[in-house]
Amino acid sequence: MILSASSDALLRDIIANLRSAFKVKDLGPVHYFLGIDVRRTPSGFVLSQASYARNVLERAGMGNCKPAPTPVDTKAKLSSGDGELISDSTWYRSIAGGLQYLTLTRPDIAYAVQQVCLHMHAPRTSHATLLKRVLRYVKGTTHLGLHLHGTATPTLTAYMDADWAGCPDTCRSTSGFCIFLGDSLVSWSAKRQTIVSRSSTEAENRGVANAVAEST
């Protein structure tokens, strides 16, 4: 459990109240939690999953792979029927799931991982190539993480975008958003919309609705 409070005095009071009801061991300032490294800086915190990312690469058998400059290329989205079925679908699902957890501190791979996870039910060779592209990008960027900055003006700012009928199988749109509290990115998403939008404006409006709901 990680506890935080607006002042040291309040934090000590919370810990004292917990100790009155439970056996509590205070481990001090957080440094590592559930695979996430926490580094304190003068302006805030840096959250990183570098060791976890290297573990995923080793599990995938790509610990020594050549890094890629981007997590995806600019080609059209893959269909669920592109290529032959791969022989080891369990490997695909395991590594894709591992990358999902990595997006906790890596919003830069959120869209790419979302595309990979669309094909977990029946992964094919083209989907495995897409998965390996994400892994190659992670190989060269294990040092990246999420910076949380303190701010005197905690304004909530949201950005959103959507394509239109981008999915080749369902014609559904994909929308994404990122939400900042001050200068800190606190929430993000890349997700295929639940229904088919009849225009690009409708796709954008549904994306806006998702971003507003998350902000609220």
Nearest CA to 67 among 152, 13, 135? 135
Answer positive or negative: Cα dihedral of 120, 126, 128, 131: negative
Q: Name beta bridge partners: 178.
A: 159, 188
Cα distance between residue 127 and residue 80, in whole Å: 8
Residues 179, 184, 190, 196, Cα dihedral to 10°? 10
Cα distance between residue 63 and residue 45, in whole Å: 28
Cα distance between residue 87 and residue 85, in whole Å: 7
Sheet with 36-41, edge to edge strand ranges = 32-33, 36-41, 44-48, 145-149
Does the pTM exceed 0.85? yes
* Rounded (5°) CA angle 149-153-159: 75
Contact criterion met (CB below 8 Å) for 48 and 59: no
**Residue with token string 């061991």:** 25
pLDDT score for 43: 86
Type of residue numbered 89: S
pLDDT score for 4: 86
Cα distance between residue 5 and residue 7, in whole Å: 5
The pLDDT profile of the chain, 216 residues, written as one tens digit per residue, is 899 888 889 999 999 999 999 998 888 889 999 989 999 998 889 999 999 999 999 999 999 999 999 999 888 789 999 899 999 999 999 999 999 999 999 999 999 999 999 999 999 999 999 999 999 999 999 999 999 988 888 899 999 999 999 999 999 999 999 999 999 999 999 999 999 999 999 999 999 999 999 999
pLDDT score for 136: 97
pLDDT score for 201: 96
Domain boundaries, given as residue ranges, for the chain = 47-140, 154-215
Alpha-carbon Rg for the chain in angstroms: 20
pLDDT score for 28: 87
